Structure 1
Amino acid sequence: MPSFATDVPALLLRLDPNPYHHGTLGAARSLGRAGVEVHALVGSRIGAVGRTRFLHRVHTAAPAAGPGGAPTDAELEGALLAASEAIGRPAVLVPLDDRGAIGAARLAPRLAGRYLLPPVAPLLPARLADKAELSAVCARAEVAHPATVLPGSAREAAHAATELGLPAVAKWSRPWLLPPGLRSTALVRSPQEAARLYERTAEAGSALLLQRRLPDAPGADWFFHGYAAEGGRFLVGGAGRKERSWPPRTGLTAVGTWLPCPAVQEAAARLAAALDYRGILDLDFRLDPVTGVHHLVDFNPRPGAQFRLFTDRSGLDVVRAQHLHLTGRAVPEPRGGPGRVFVVENYALLSALLGPRAGGHTPAAASRGPVERAWFAADDPLPFAAMAAGWLGRCLARGARPAALRERLRTGSAGTTSGPAASAALPSTAGPAHPAPGPQGSQHTEPTPHTERRNPCTTS
């Protein structure tokens, strides 16, 4: 293991309200196992993550008054300064969501002397996290990006959806501002749906963009995590493939594998160099099976929740690399790692039981490397127990029916279940529904594609 400056603590900043954010747990364990004193500043309750033995103290920010529940810069600065006073010495600041990364970069000049941060341009994280800006960023860096339109009216949205090809992908440009009930990304299947979604722009708090949908294909979803220093040069980094996700095909990584991919790695290096990016980043790519080109679909200026997938034999990952680099320690050359598998137990279970069958890309047990689990760890078992208890209670409270899950286990099927068991296990409807005549005049309700649909067991 590299030699860490254990006299310099770390503050994990997470403003997202998800109480089951396994990326926060991964960061606490990674730095805590290295002997670093780890604090966390959260915008709401810490949840199961707070049970880890590697968190020294949890600091809670006051309720936010900003749009979408986000704190204003003044509120965030006040919370960070209060945490700094409690910590008592400068700390490495590690934002774990877009809100935190954007705010920390803007406030960096005023936090000097209190926190150690990568010297990224103050407005760059906000620009990169804004999905409306990403197309231009990719064009300048010569990185492929799906065709994207930013409509200026409901009529333009309807026309753009038709021109791009239906179904089209609809995204809100600044998802951290969304109110409950609106999904950050959805499929629109008709011009009318695109127009109706555009009419919710004021409610969403940011612009709507429409994007050509790249075809689904096994092994099409890739990601890259890295830590960049001066000139956008990666000190550590790696490409991985999403084997399973929750929700299926469009959600977060439930099972991922570290696999070298020159096309993804070269695109990430080109992008970071063009931006002179400094710090941790998480990039999402989708492979177009027709052209064989990987398209960048998302840029997260902070660690992805599955960052622990990219851990070498010495335990080095992007969070440890940031602490080493900002405290003046050498970041060693990574040694080994490809083939590792990362499993998020709760979402992997849902994906296996209720999602489609895995394609032929899942690595065989004989050829894959070590498996790291997001929640369970022999040296830190309480977070897993708290997650499992809370998650089960949430499932039951939201009406999950064990019969549906038992049927999946009995048949061994990961395909689509039909009949009453399936309807019990599918996501419950949130928001308005549009009735459509069913057989013999019955009424069947289907959620609008842009209204949030939640499985009873889903926590984010």
Structure 2
Amino acid sequence: MQFHQTKKPLPHAVVAGLDDYPGLQTARLLAKRGIPVIGVARHQHLFFCRTNVCEKILYLNTERDEFIEGLVNLGKQFEQKAVLFPSTDMCVLRISRHREALAPYYHIALPKPEVVEKLMNKLGFLEYALQEKLPIPKTFLLRNRAEAEQAANELNFPCILKPPMKTATWEKHTTIKAYKLASAGEFLKMYDQCCGWADILIAQEWIPGPDSNLYSCNCYFDANAEPLVTFTARKLRQWPPETGSTSLGEECRNDVVLNAALQLFKKENWHGLGYLEMKRDARTGAHYIIEPNIGRPTGRSALAEACGVELLSTMYCDQVGLPLPENRTQKYAGVKWICLLEDLRSAHVYWRRGDLTLKEWWQSLRGKKTYADFSWSDPMPFLTDIQRRLAFKFKALREKIFSRKAAPNFVAPKSLNAAPAMASRHG
């Protein structure tokens, strides 16, 4: 659906959380439809902010009051209410908690605040899932070392260790969103390492199966909790492997996941964007809920648009009262979505492990695709990211060369034990 120039200008779309792939993709997709876009980002130095699709970009800390104050000041400049597209969990939470201050200036597609709090926080969702008897992996909440030891005795390994939410404190220490641990010893060692990064940690049994057993459903519900558009897809690879975000995915049909998503969100009188990810157990074929993502676009939102399912345009039109796009039905054409640079890293790991041949890798890339990072009309984010990665690799290589040259002249004190250097998380 392409919006044409009219006497009355279209309301703005404000993408909060531009400095991540979902935010960048959302801005590109809306701008492509002719919708004026303003971005809000936390990190000015990140390559996402080199995009050319935004009229302007505001830099605000999403975890501080300046985020809401900045949105209010921006909203006062609009002649008509803009549509808010929060693109990170923290943006969704902050907007939900301050919706009364934002409502005069923005259309906000979110359900009641208590529903957002319940489904956004993994702890709240786990309590809800247990109460509603939803299919989730065996789970333990870890508040202290004693509870971690109890979980280690009762869990089947491997297992996953993760925080309820990736906060600034967590991201200060790692970019990993979840750790896969093979034994009780590994589990307790990792717990000791990261227990200070979050008040509570979550331990879950690992559901066996490859990345391609991870299915998802994106959807948008109107103010009456009616689903106006749905879209199902699956991962093919992710970065980091097994526990990360999608690096290569494709649309597919999975009515089990579709029906589970509709049932979950309709029961909560959902309004706005919703996403449910489930994994099919390779042993039994049963599907288990991995996580919901609520109130924001995901990587698969762009895949939906590439497949002719206008997910984000539907939300925009519904919010501003324009006729809905005609293309809201999935046709299952097998289109793929790829984050090119991250998928190269993922494929390299699988190849080194012997889980992926060069032929299989090439075949996985064939067919119609849409890109998370690359765009002919908006090339600077991709090119800047390549430049960043090359600079990091060159720096690491240079340090390695100089350290080798210096090594013969260095004698370690006998009283000290050598320790391996920690690899940088950058890039």
**Which category of TM-score, normalised to the shorter sequence, fits these structures?**
0.7 to 0.9
Change (3 A) 1:192 1:383: closer
Worse-matched range after superposition: 173-182 or 186-195: 186-195
Change (3 A) 1:57 1:44: same
Q: How far did residue 55 of structure 1 move?
A: 0.8
Change (3 A) 1:374 1:151: closer
Deviations 1:312-333 (A, max 9, x none): 665x432222111101123235
Which residue of structure 1 lines up, in the alignment, with residue 201 of structure 2? 208
Which residue of structure 2 lines up, in the alignment, with residue 426 of structure 1? none
Instruction: Give % identity.
Output: 21
Which residue of structure 1 lines up, in the alignment, with residue 298 of structure 2? 304
Which residue of structure 1 lines up, in the alignment, with residue 407 of structure 2? none
What is the rounded CA distance, in whole Å, between the counterparts of 2:9 and 2:257 in structure 1?
34
Which residue of structure 1 lines up, in the alignment, with residue 288 of structure 2? 295
Which residue of structure 2 lines up, in the alignment, with residue 43 of structure 1? 42
Which residue of structure 2 lines up, in the alignment, with residue 380 of structure 1? 378
What is the rounded CA distance, in whole Å, between the counterparts of 2:321 and 2:84 in structure 1?
15
Q: How far did residue 362 of structure 1 move?
A: 8.3
Deviations 1:343-388 (A, max 9, x none): 111111112223344499989679x762111222233333322232
TM-score by length of 1: 0.77
Q: How far did residue 296 of structure 1 move?
A: 1.2
What is the rounded CA distance, in whole Å, between the counterparts of 2:307 and 2:189 in structure 1?
51
Which amino acid letter does the alignment assign opposite residue 373 of structure 1? Y
3-state DSSP of counterpart to 1:227 = strand
Residue 99 (1) aligns with residue 90 (2): yes
8 Å contact 1:168–1:189 — kept in the other structure? yes
3-state DSSP of counterpart to 2:98 = helix
Q: How far did residue 134 of structure 1 move?
A: 2.1
Selected match of 1:163 from 113, 133, 154 = 154
Selected match of 2:346 from 339, 351, 354 = 351
What is the rounded CA distance, in whole Å, between the counterparts of 2:3 and 2:132 in structure 1?
36
8 Å contact 1:162–1:190 — kept in the other structure? no
Residue 184 (1) aligns with residue 177 (2): yes
8 Å contact 1:174–1:206 — kept in the other structure? no
Which residue of structure 2 lines up, in the alignment, with residue 56 of structure 1? 55
Q: Which runs of 5+ in 2 are unaligned?
A: 401-416
Deviations 1:131-161 (A, max 9, x none): 1222233345553111111134312211112
3-state DSSP of counterpart to 1:118 = coil
Q: How far did residue 121 of structure 1 move?
A: 1.0
Which residue of structure 1 lines up, in the alignment, with residue 278 of structure 2? 285
Change (3 A) 1:454 1:217: farther
Residue 393 (1) aligns with residue 410 (2): no
Which amino acid letter does the alignment assign opposite residue 328 of structure 2? P
8 Å contact 1:39–1:58 — kept in the other structure? yes
Deviations 1:65-100 (A, max 9, x none): xxxxx624x333212112223555421010000000
Selected match of 1:371 from 353, 359, 369 = 369
What is the rounded CA distance, in whole Å, between the counterparts of 1:226 and 1:160 in structure 2?
35
What is the rounded CA distance, in whole Å, between the counterparts of 1:214 and 1:234 in structure 2?
29
Which residue of structure 2 lines up, in the alignment, with residue 33 of structure 1? 32
Q: How far did residue 38 of structure 1 move?
A: 0.3
What is the rounded CA distance, in whole Å, between the counterparts of 1:395 and 1:312 in structure 2?
33
3-state DSSP of counterpart to 1:81 = helix
What is the rounded CA distance, in whole Å, between the counterparts of 1:71 and 1:40 in structure 2?
16
Residue 8 (1) aligns with residue 37 (2): no
Which amino acid letter does the alignment assign opposite residue 334 of structure 1? R
TM-score by length of 2: 0.83
Which amino acid letter does the alignment assign opposite residue 110 of structure 1? A
Which amino acid letter does the alignment assign opposite residue 347 of structure 2? A
8 Å contact 1:160–1:210 — kept in the other structure? yes
CA RMSD of aligned residues (A): 3.2
Residue 340 (1) aligns with residue 335 (2): yes
8 Å contact 2:68–2:98 — kept in the other structure? yes
Where in structure 2 are the equivalents of 1:237-252 lying within 5 Å? 237-252=230-245
Where in structure 2 are the equivalents of 1:67-216 lying within 5 Å? 71-72=63-64, 74-87=65-78, 89-179=80-170, 180-182=172-174, 183-191=176-184, 193-195=186-188, 198=191, 203-216=196-209
8 Å contact 2:236–2:250 — kept in the other structure? yes
- The structure that is helix-richer by fraction is 2
Q: How far did residue 228 of structure 1 move?
A: 1.6
Which amino acid letter does the alignment assign opposite residue 303 of structure 2? L
Which amino acid letter does the alignment assign opposite residue 162 of structure 1? N
3-state DSSP of counterpart to 1:175 = coil
Worse-matched range after superposition: 257-266 or 85-94: 85-94
Deviations 1:203-260 (A, max 9, x none): 3233112111111336222222111224543211211111111111111111100001
Q: How far did residue 177 of structure 1 move?
A: 4.5
Change (3 A) 1:225 1:392: farther
What is the rounded CA distance, in whole Å, between the counterparts of 2:195 and 2:239 in structure 1?
29
Change (3 A) 1:365 1:186: closer
What is the rounded CA distance, in whole Å, between the counterparts of 1:158 and 1:87 in structure 2?
55
Change (3 A) 1:248 1:197: closer
3-state DSSP of counterpart to 1:143 = coil
What is the rounded CA distance, in whole Å, between the counterparts of 2:101 and 2:194 in structure 1?
33
What is the rounded CA distance, in whole Å, between the counterparts of 1:82 and 1:385 in structure 2?
33
8 Å contact 1:177–1:204 — kept in the other structure? no
Q: How far did residue 397 of structure 1 move?
A: 3.4
Change (3 A) 1:153 1:353: closer
Change (3 A) 1:212 1:354: closer
Change (3 A) 1:218 1:389: closer
Q: Which runs of 5+ in 1 are unaligned?
A: 65-69, 403-441, 448-452
What is the rounded CA distance, in whole Å, between the counterparts of 1:262 and 1:358 in structure 2?
29
What is the rounded CA distance, in whole Å, between the counterparts of 1:245 and 1:454 in structure 2?
20
Q: How far did residue 261 of structure 1 move?
A: 0.6
